[in-house]
Structure 1
Amino acid sequence: MAWDGTYWVKLRRQLTDEEKTRQLRVDRSASTRVKTDYSAFAMNDAWLELTNNAYVQRGILTYGFLMLLPVSIMFVCGAIWAMRNPPPNTHGAELTFAMAFMVCFMLFGCCMVLVCLWGLHQENFTWTRIPIRFNHRTRMVHAFRGAGAKGVISVPWDKAFFFIEKRPKDPISRGTPYGLRCHVLDDQGRVSQSFTVGRRVYTIDDETTENGRSIVHELNDQFEFIRRYMEGGPSAVPAPDLVPIEVSLSNSCKLAFRNDKALLAEGNVVATALVWVLKPFLMLIALLHYIGMRTSREPVWPADIDASPVSMARA
């Protein structure tokens, strides 16, 4: 198992039947429409740079682990206090058993503290973004970070395995998330590395319904934008609405509240109610997104990937 910034991904295995069924082929049109769905950082005459799925949801891990950290510290402090103040009239085997239990309780609390610190580090004091670069000149795909690699993942466009990934329901919004994922396969067809691409979509409706299916199909539109760019360059696709890379609270709010429009467009009463109920929570997530960005540093591509002279669409 390896962490890719969004989920734990099982590596060194064969593709599942579901992954094969949901595959989006690089040599076949996936949609009649093309759009990036606000997931492009930059585009020029050599490469297209997109977000990964984790960029928009940044702040959620921080929120969860900030809530858990004080509880974990209380476990540790409580266990230490209990060991320093054993119950009166307790001796022998009974006291030994009680102390052993408190030691286990303290170790459990310490492990929880370490997990919380690990989770907070995933979004703070790290990289401001995890870009995915598609170079149509070299026909290569480069992921700055992903599962199975400490540095850059590189895979030829024609050998990349893209598919629509379905994840478990979000416990907060009750929507089902879908995302575009790329597996890197070895010579035996096993998954050796993996990373996400673009912007995830959410739907409360099942994908077998017309409304749910249309929302999930937006991932086909995102993939088709990438595919056409890789085949024909920037002239083959419309100019995308670029995601601002400048660190500001305003930009973090734009990302946090953009999903609201999609949920409201479903016309679902439950979805509409959730949008308004969750607004304070999303405001907090936007603030945590901004703090995470402010404490992190800009990613720097290796010289061999960033060497080609280009005409930039964005300065």
Structure 2
Amino acid sequence: MSVYGLYQPYKVNRPLNRSEKHHRLHQGRPAKVRFFNNEQSVIRINSTYLETVDKFHKGGGDTGLFALLFFMLVSIHLYVLYHCFFVSEKETKDKIIDIVISSLVMSFFYFLSGYFLLKQWFKWTHYPIRFNRKSKMVYVFRTNGSVLTVPWQDIYFTQDKEPGILNDWSIRGHILDSDGETVLETFSLGVCTDKSTTLEYWEFIRCYMEEDVVPELAELIMFCPPAEDRKEGFIFCWQNLLYMGSRLEWLLLPLTLPLSLEASVWRYITCVTGKIPRWPREVLDACRPDPADPVSISAANNPEKMWRLVFANEPRDVWQERYDRMDAATNKIHAVLAKRYGHHI
């Protein structure tokens, strides 16, 4: 579970630490990667802007444990109250004491489970990030519903290890004070995974903002979350959590199928109870795409037979055509980078 940014605020008004300086990601400097990975986070891409989900989006089923704990506590508490009122033969004074003590004990656990639940339920369906390629501006939908607007070049990007036992990394963007050292605000890009994949994700975003390879980047997108101006349906919640990279993962289906189904229920509740994020008018006006733009990819372009893609079970010719197209796009991006920066990258 990714903690910082949603469950726990980022630490601000502090100097950059050693790790953030060591793992800095520089604008204008290509990273050495083989692939350009969008991690199925792209909501829409065109020649004007790229919009992605936040790093918490894919893990929307994380609330399951806390939801089960909360409802279990409610059931236990109701049973205690029932027993005190209708079963116990104690005097009224003793019953009241039992009720007060049990309620005080339960209140701590109610707060613990409810705190994590309400960080996702009844909030927003997701927290989009929009990258305007033409104006070189970045728009971040904050967790309180406000919007951070900042120039691309003014953001200090860095890879950062997420707390916990899992080897998860994220890409954080820091807004620094005029001293270039003090962190005033922090947000994360839409990925939380292993370190090498976060670097591939960074290069996808950087190339969109800085290189003339938008059509090629669009070719690398297999499907988009249907989160733009609407709430995701239960089926997509399940598909996104179940998505398989290869048929080898079929061996794990007896485990992943029920777990993903259970998690998709909680993810769907997050979507149903959440509000749809809306960009303010000034952002929409600044990101108005060209009606004749040849690049326009969104959930409307998702495969018709989505389940076959989810289970890595597309016909051989369909899979080969997509692989060849993505491989050609990847090679072209590398050629553009090599021509601009030299073959040493």
Q: TM-score range by the shorter chain?
A: 0.7 to 0.9
- How far apart are 1:132 and its partner, in Å? 0.7
* 1:225 equivalent in structure 2: 204
The CA distance in 1 between the partners of 2:270 and 2:81, in whole Å, is 32
Structure 1 residues 147-162: aligned runs within 5 Å: 150-162=145-157
Amino acid at match of 2:192: R
C-alpha offsets along residues 24-81 of structure 1, whole Å, 9 cap, x if unaligned? Answer: 11121113432312111111122111111100000212x0211211343367557768
Q: Secondary structure at the match of 1:54?
A: coil
1:201 counterpart (185, 193, 200): 193
* 2:160 equivalent in structure 1: 165
Distance of aligned partners of 1:73 and 1:235 in 2 relative to their CA distance in 1, 3 Å threshold:
closer
Amino acid at match of 1:249: F
Sequence identity of aligned pairs in percent?
22
Structure 1 residues 86-235: aligned runs within 5 Å: 99=97, 103=100, 106-146=103-143, 150-169=145-164, 175-188=166-179, 189-202=181-194, 216-232=195-211, 235=214
1:243 counterpart (220, 224, 245): 224
- How far apart are 1:244 and its partner, in Å? 2.7
Query: Is contact 2:7–2:119 with CA below 8 Å preserved after alignment?
Result: no
Distance of aligned partners of 1:137 and 1:23 in 2 relative to their CA distance in 1, 3 Å threshold:
same
Q: Normalising by the residue count of structure 2, what TM-score does the alignment of the two structures yield?
A: 0.69
Amino acid at match of 1:193: E
Query: Is contact 2:28–2:210 with CA below 8 Å preserved after alignment?
Result: no
Query: Is contact 1:50–1:131 with CA below 8 Å preserved after alignment?
Result: yes
Unpaired runs of 5+ residues, structure 1, are: 203-215, 266-271
Count, aligned residues: 282
Distance of aligned partners of 1:11 and 1:304 in 2 relative to their CA distance in 1, 3 Å threshold:
same
* 1:261 equivalent in structure 2: 245
Amino acid at match of 2:177: D
* 2:36 equivalent in structure 1: 34
Amino acid at match of 2:255: V
The CA distance in 2 between the partners of 1:264 and 1:69, in whole Å, is 36
C-alpha offsets along residues 249-299 of structure 1, whole Å, 9 cap, x if unaligned? Answer: 2311221023x538968xxxxxx9877534312211122222322333321
Amino acid at match of 1:221: E
- How far apart are 1:165 and its partner, in Å? 2.1
Q: Normalising by the residue count of structure 1, what TM-score does the alignment of the two structures yield?
A: 0.74
Superposed CA RMSD: 3.5
Q: Secondary structure at the match of 2:282?
A: coil
Distance of aligned partners of 1:88 and 1:112 in 2 relative to their CA distance in 1, 3 Å threshold:
closer
